[in-house]
């Protein structure tokens, strides 16, 4: 892609939007950025952009701004059916996302990982497996570091491991990972995609440009993933914690095997995985597939898995206060993620639910609520909907996270678990799920310090 002298508009000033604008400007493009946020809301980003000669439009998208552009790069938070983008496409303007932009400049092989849940854990693990195997490796994408920020550090032999979301996959054109992984597909982001089929179709685009020399890694225990086998031209490898697979990673009598095109190899014992929950076993199996397909040795894979620690905000142990354990799973932003979190503990759970609703059905939680949860504490704008749908346990309308944690602390008994697994987005009361998780940890640590002082 030739950028020098081209007129390029970047829509949305999140992390990827800022990174895209700076990359485009450095490579000779005439760059404008446009965001609906006010100048005051973007005061941290604007000075850097202006200093580099990027034109900045805030407080809305001007109709004329979108006209006459050689390229429009849209951030994942901007809906692809936003009226200005529909008009731009109608005028024949090229609209892509940051992941697509980055992929056209990344020289080495890409491992792309998507799914409703487990993306961050698996992406981080694959990065650590490849690094342990001695391969030059960079990790980014939806995990935090924009893919476009990796371009300058990437060489032809560098492996790029990317977490990619359904929003990012909506705007790809030529994106072609060497290995494409779909961990699972359960209802999520229906407030944006509207239907589960549209959401599934967005995820399946990860395979769109792959050929017969590429690899697709799919979950053999997920019925939606199973149905995607015929939507890729790549060589399909499976992972399963429930059954043997013809090619891929699986568990048999507590041992993990990988079966390749020629032979089966034992990788490690399932009991050696240091992470809680069956869902993390699945994430590790997917990671093993990626490592083996990239020619990492089984010894290096085993060592990387054994050393791996839970990523921040994903079923993260925070503290034990007066015999009660506190866990931060702020990244559980959909119902299926909350189910997986609840399945990681046998009983006596105090569950904090709520935030910004994503069109979810919370009745799916009811069986686990009856079996394992002592109380639910609801917070945020989704609280009323959640309270109308859940059954089987006592519900405390807490409104805020601080109030929920303190109410749970006052009620919980030694041996109980207080779990933040909200099944919702964070944007009603927080800047991000990371912000929500950090606040939760700050509250818990403050209570822990107070408990020590009064002991």
Provide the annotated active-site residues: 119, 142, 189
Residue 84: closest CA among 101, 67, 102: 67
Q: How far is CA 42 from the centre of its chain?
A: 24
Contact residues for 420 (Cβ-Cβ < 8 A; gap 6+): 327, 328, 329, 330, 352, 401, 405, 436, 437, 440
Q: Is 312 exposed, middle or buried (0-12, 13-18, 19+ CB in 10 A)?
A: middle
DSSP state, residue 150: G
Alpha helix stretches (DSSP H) within 91-178: 98-103, 119-132, 166-169
- DSSP-derived secondary structure letter, 166: H
Q: Answer whether 420's CB lies under 8 Å from 438's CB.
A: no
Query: Residue 121: which of 240, 334, 303, 281 has the closest Cα?
Result: 281
The tokens for 93 are 């303007």
Q: Judge whether 304 and 290 are in contact, CB under 8 Å.
A: no
């Amino acid at each position: 892609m030739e950028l020098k002298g081209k007129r390029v508009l970047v829509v949305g000033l999140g992390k990827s939007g800022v990174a895209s604008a700076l990359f485009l400007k450095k490579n000779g493009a005439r760059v404008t950025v446009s965001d609906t946020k006010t100048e005051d809301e973007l005061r941290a980003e604007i000075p850097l952009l202006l200093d580099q000669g990027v034109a900045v439009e805030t407080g809305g998208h001007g109709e004329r701004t979108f006209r006459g552009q050689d390229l429009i790069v849209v951030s994942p938070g901007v809906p692809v059916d936003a009226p200005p983008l529909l008009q731009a496409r109608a005028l024949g303007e090229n609209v892509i996302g940051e992941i697509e932009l980055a992929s056209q400049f990344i020289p080495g092989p890409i491992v792309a990982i998507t799914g409703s849940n487990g993306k961050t854990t698996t992406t981080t693990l694959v990065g650590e497996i490849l690094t342990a195997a001695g391969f030059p490796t960079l990790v980014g994408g939806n995990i935090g570091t924009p893919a476009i920020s990796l371009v300058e550090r990437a060489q032809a032999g560098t492996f790029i491991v990317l977490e990619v979301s359904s929003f990012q996959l909506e705007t790809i054109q030529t994106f072609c990972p060497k290995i494409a992984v779909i961990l699972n597909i359960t209802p999520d982001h229906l407030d944006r995609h509207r239907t589960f089929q549209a959401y599934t179709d967005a995820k399946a685009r990860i395979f769109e440009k792959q050929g017969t020399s590429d690899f697709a890694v799919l979950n053999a225990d997920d019925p939606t993933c199973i149905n995607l086998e015929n939507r890729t031209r790549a060589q399909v490898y499976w992972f399963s914690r429930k059954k043997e697979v013809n090619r891929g990673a699986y568990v048999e009598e507590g041992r993990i095997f990988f079966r390749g095109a020629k032979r089966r190899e034992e990788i490690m014992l399932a009991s050696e995985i240091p992470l809680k929950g069956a869902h993390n076993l699945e994430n590790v199996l997917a990671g093993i597939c990626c490592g083996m397909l990239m020619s990492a040795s089984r010894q290096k894979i085993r060592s990387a898995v054994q050393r791996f620690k839970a990523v921040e905000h994903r079923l993260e142990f925070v503290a034990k206060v007066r015999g009660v354990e506190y866990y931060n799973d702020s990244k559980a932003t959909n119902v299926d993620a909350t189910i997986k979190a609840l399945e990681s503990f046998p009983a006596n759970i105090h569950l904090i639910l709520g935030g910004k609703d994503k069109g979810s059905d919370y009745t799916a939680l009811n069986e686990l609520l009856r079996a394992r949860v002592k109380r639910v504490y609801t917070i945020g704008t989704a609280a009323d909907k959640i309270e109308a749908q859940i059954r089987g346990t006592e519900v405390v309308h807490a409104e805020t996270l601080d109030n929920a944690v303190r109410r749970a602390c006052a009620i919980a008994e030694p041996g109980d678990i207080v779990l933040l697994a909200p099944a919702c987005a964070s944007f009603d009361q927080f800047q991000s799920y990371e912000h929500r998780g950090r606040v939760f940890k700050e509250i818990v640590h403050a209570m822990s310090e107070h408990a020590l002082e009064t002991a």
